[in-house]
Chains A and B, each alone.
Chain A
Amino acid sequence: MSKSNKTPFRIALHGMDSRTYKTMEMYLKGPCRGAAVVVEDAEASIDMIDADHPKARDILDARKAAAPGRPIILLSLQNLQLDNTYFIKKPVNVQQIMAVLDKIKAVAEARKAAAERTKIAQAPAKIPDEPKPPMDDKPKKMAMDVYVNKAKAPKTGDAAEHHKASKHHSAMQLNEGGFTAFLGTLSDIDFDDEVQLLTACYDPRQYFLGYVMSAYKTANLQSRVLQLCSIWKPLTIFPESQEVWIDADDKQTRAFAGMPLGKGSVGKMILTAVDSTTAIQRAEDKFQDMGAFVWKLAIWTSKGRFPIGLDIQGPVYLERWPNFTRLVITPDALRIAALLVQAPRTPLEVAGLLHVKPQYVFVFISACQTIGILKQSERQADAVIAVEPTKKPKNEGLLSKILNKLRGA
């Protein structure tokens, strides 16, 4: 953070005993040269929590609920990666604190600029002051064999990515009517036959999807803009704004997503850190929400097959509904979601109950698993105890008529 910044951050401290509280207060005033001051909760613009406190989780939840949107800094001896928080590893030092404060400042400025730009809907927003890169950005262990080119480390932080408004256009380009053409590949499979069952599954790691998911995790871990280069078009991942940029339309992406990658292709997969300042100067209509992108990618990779590693004889359930208004909707997705939110069921059971093709269930659970909301039930009881059938409402006929009306039938 610039030393010329005259307005100190106002920080509220949580989960600290009186001694630690006082020490932190003096640390911010002294070694940090007044970059931040400790204030009462009501006056604060940032919350700082000692994440090693026994009730840290409760404190965190309470702070998120009490002041949504307020930045939260977590201090811990352990490496933490929690959504919507900033992390400083103990023992705390000045550089770490200043780097996080820089980041918070850059994010706040970018959000403000984006909001103003959206309101006035005019010329491109001004790029904010370049924040310094976070100090603790050592590359973490990667989930898959994707190479990170450290030689091209970014010269600046990636806060400029916050300038972009989220783009959800591509999620709406297709509807469920367009899927029947390529989801019909599993007809006449005997799901009791283990050999035939193998033809109904796929391994995401053998497709572009697997590499995108790995790169996504790495970008999130490192909090930096990364570009995944392959034999196809480069994909740039912006972890702060949870967006991707790719110069390809849905038809092109769908075609590539469905191709198994041979050894030759895998060798050309390179993950490179990108200068965020240049990364931001791209056609805005090609930015896509990350979740919506991987959702689509999973659908086009699955093509009605289920992901390997998922036991289709075991019950699965949804932790929550997908945000359907911003996602491509596969056939019968809303019905399947409604059923799997209620209780765990096996995929084949879902197909039977709703009288839908198994591949419609498989493609849906593939997409849900990719965005992390589908879980395999681990409770034995879920597999043993039959789930009660859903109660039929009295006005079932009327509800069906409303559905037909809404769907334009």
Chain B
Amino acid sequence: MSQYKIIFTGPVGAGKTTAINAISDVPPIKTDAAASDMTKNRKASTTVAMDYGVMNLAGGEKIHLYGTPGQERFDFMWDILTNGGIGLILLLDNTRADPFQDMRFFLDAFGKFIDDTSVAIGVTQMDLSSTPSIEDYHAQLQGFGLKPPVFSVDAREKNDVSLLVQALLYSLDPGLAG
């Protein structure tokens, strides 16, 4: 049986682990460790390998949900992770110093994968920092020639994460019948 994946990526603390947890049918396997580098300024522990969750579908098929480690020093894993991926969920933390720079970095890093599939962007922590706005993100994305879904997301809310993934799927094919 084929291995289908949805990849969750984004900077440290953007909510990748939490988002996978929100829609996974099994408790996600976490590979967190105590943060020991710059990451510790933002959170006590961080994902050092990857997060993994599963959605069980009708007919016995499974969708694997992979969260990339946030630190750039693990970017060698990203190519391996995206192999066979259906699409990319990019989560961005709006309280970081320059979320646009984060967005540019990840869109560049996953550029080929996005070209082959699609991307949906979730902006987290907007309750703590309302700027940049969702409109600002869309304006930035014009430079990439992309018009992806960009939603404000609370990664703890299943509905928010679910809508983001649904938008990713409809970006691939608006004609999909649910």
Which of A7-15, A256-264, A388-396 is found at the contact surface with chain B?
A388-396
Output the residue of A68, A339, A403 with the most chain B CB within 10 A: A68
Judge whether A265 is part of the interface by a CB distance below 8 angstroms: no
Q: 20 A-B contacts, Cβ less than 8 Å apart? A: A65-B140, A166-B127, A172-B159, A319-B138, A320-B135, A320-B150, A323-B134, A324-B151, A325-B159, A336-B174, A353-B174, A390-B173, A396-B173, A398-B86, A400-B177, A402-B86, A403-B169, A403-B178, A405-B55, A405-B57
Q: Which chain A residues lie closer than 8 Å to B132 at the CB level?
A: 68-69
Judge whether A308 is part of the interface by a CB distance below 8 angstroms: no
Which of B36-44, B67-75, B160-168 is found at the contact surface with chain A?
B160-168
Distance between Cα atoms of A404 and B63 in the complex (Å): 13
Known: A65-B100, A400-B178, A402-B63. 16 other contacts (CB 8 A): A64-B136, A69-B131, A84-B131, A118-B127, A320-B150, A323-B152, A325-B157, A337-B170, A341-B171, A353-B174, A353-B175, A390-B175, A395-B86, A398-B57, A398-B86, A401-B57
Q: Which of A68, A119, A395 contacts B131 (CB 8 A)?
A: A68
Distance between B57 CB and nearest chain A CB, rounded to angstroms: 4
Judge whether B129 is part of the interface by a CB distance below 8 angstroms: yes
Distance between A397 CB and nearest chain B CB, rounded to angstroms: 9
The answer to whether A395 and B135 touch (CB under 8 A), given A115-B128, A334-B167, A406-B23, is no
| A185-209 interface code vs B (CB 8 A; 1 in, 0 out) | 0000000000000000000000000
Distance between B136 CB and nearest chain A CB, rounded to angstroms: 7
Q: Which of B59, B149, B162 contacts A406 (CB 8 A)?
A: B162
In the complex, the answer to whether A399 meets B159 with C-beta atoms within 8 Å is no
In the complex, the answer to whether B138 meets A320 with C-beta atoms within 8 Å is yes
Output the residue of B55, B136, B167 with the most chain A CB within 10 A: B167
Judge whether A40 is part of the interface by a CB distance below 8 angstroms: no
Instruction: Output the nearest chain B residue to A326 by Cβ-Cβ distance.
Output: B152
Distance between A387 CB and nearest chain B CB, rounded to angstroms: 12
Q: Which of A324, A354, A402, A404 contacts B175 (CB 8 A)?
A: A354
In the complex, the answer to whether A68 meets B100 with C-beta atoms within 8 Å is yes
Judge whether A140 is part of the interface by a CB distance below 8 angstroms: no
Q: Which chain B residues lie closer than 8 Å to A407 at the CB level?
A: 162, 166, 178
| B23-46 interface code vs A (CB 8 A; 1 in, 0 out) | 100000000000000000000000
| B120-146 interface code vs A (CB 8 A; 1 in, 0 out) | 000000011111111110111000000
Which A residues are within 8 Å of any B CB, using their own CB?
61, 64-65, 68-69, 83-84, 115, 118-119, 165-166, 172, 319-321, 323-326, 329, 334-339, 341-342, 353-354, 390-393, 395-396, 398-407, 409
Q: Which chain A residues lie closer than 8 Å to B171 at the CB level?
A: 338, 341
Distance between Cα atoms of A392 and B55 in the complex (Å): 23
In the complex, the answer to whether B150 meets A402 with C-beta atoms within 8 Å is no
Distance between Cα atoms of A91 and B8 in the complex (Å): 52
Judge whether B4 is part of the interface by a CB distance below 8 angstroms: yes
In the complex, the answer to whether B172 meets A321 with C-beta atoms within 8 Å is no
Distance between B167 CB and nearest chain A CB, rounded to angstroms: 6
Distance between Cα atoms of A136 and B131 in the complex (Å): 26
Q: Which chain A residues lie closer than 8 Å to B130 at the CB level?
A: 166
The answer to whether A335 and B100 touch (CB under 8 A), given A323-B151, A325-B151, A398-B4, is no
In the complex, the answer to whether A321 meets B131 with C-beta atoms within 8 Å is no
Distance between B2 CB and nearest chain A CB, rounded to angstroms: 8
Distance between A180 CB and nearest chain B CB, rounded to angstroms: 16
Distance between A178 CB and nearest chain B CB, rounded to angstroms: 15
| B78-102 interface code vs A (CB 8 A; 1 in, 0 out) | 0000000010000000000011100
Instruction: Output the nearest chain B residue to A165 by Cβ-Cβ distance.
Output: B127
Instruction: Output the nearest chain B residue to A321 by Cβ-Cβ distance.
Output: B149
Distance between Cα atoms of A37 and B152 in the complex (Å): 37
Q: Which chain B residues lie closer than 8 Å to A396 at the CB level?
A: 173, 176
Q: Which chain A residues lie closer than 8 Å to B58 at the CB level?
A: 401, 404-405
Distance between B115 CB and nearest chain A CB, rounded to angstroms: 14
Distance between Cα atoms of A354 and B175 in the complex (Å): 6
Q: Which chain B residues lie closer than 8 Å to A400 at the CB level?
A: 176-178
Q: Which of B61, B138, B174 contacts A401 (CB 8 A)?
A: B61
Q: Which 8 A-B pairs have CB atoms at the shortest separation, nearest pair first?
A: A338-B174, A338-B170, A403-B178, A339-B174, A321-B149, A401-B57, A325-B151, A320-B138
Q: Which chain A residues lie closer than 8 Å to B131 at the CB level?
A: 68-69, 84
The answer to whether A321 and B176 touch (CB under 8 A), given A334-B167, A402-B63, A407-B166, is no
In the complex, the answer to whether A324 meets B86 with C-beta atoms within 8 Å is no
Distance between Cα atoms of A395 and B131 in the complex (Å): 38
Q: Which chain B residues lie closer than 8 Å to A69 at the CB level?
A: 129, 131-132
Instruction: Output the nearest chain A residue to B59 by Cβ-Cβ distance.
Output: A401
Distance between Cα atoms of A341 and B118 in the complex (Å): 13
Distance between Cα atoms of A398 and B159 in the complex (Å): 21
Q: Which chain A residues lie closer than 8 Å to B100 at the CB level?
A: 65, 68
Judge whether B14 is part of the interface by a CB distance below 8 angstroms: no
Distance between Cα atoms of A68 and B177 in the complex (Å): 39
In the complex, the answer to whether B135 meets A406 with C-beta atoms within 8 Å is no
Distance between Cα atoms of A354 and B138 in the complex (Å): 26
Distance between B44 CB and nearest chain A CB, rounded to angstroms: 16
In the complex, the answer to whether B152 meets A325 with C-beta atoms within 8 Å is yes
Instruction: Output the nearest chain A residue to B134 by Cβ-Cβ distance.
Output: A323
Judge whether B147 is part of the interface by a CB distance below 8 angstroms: yes
Q: Which of A118, A165, A399 contacts B169 (CB 8 A)?
A: A399
Instruction: Output the nearest chain A residue to B137 by Cβ-Cβ distance.
Output: A320
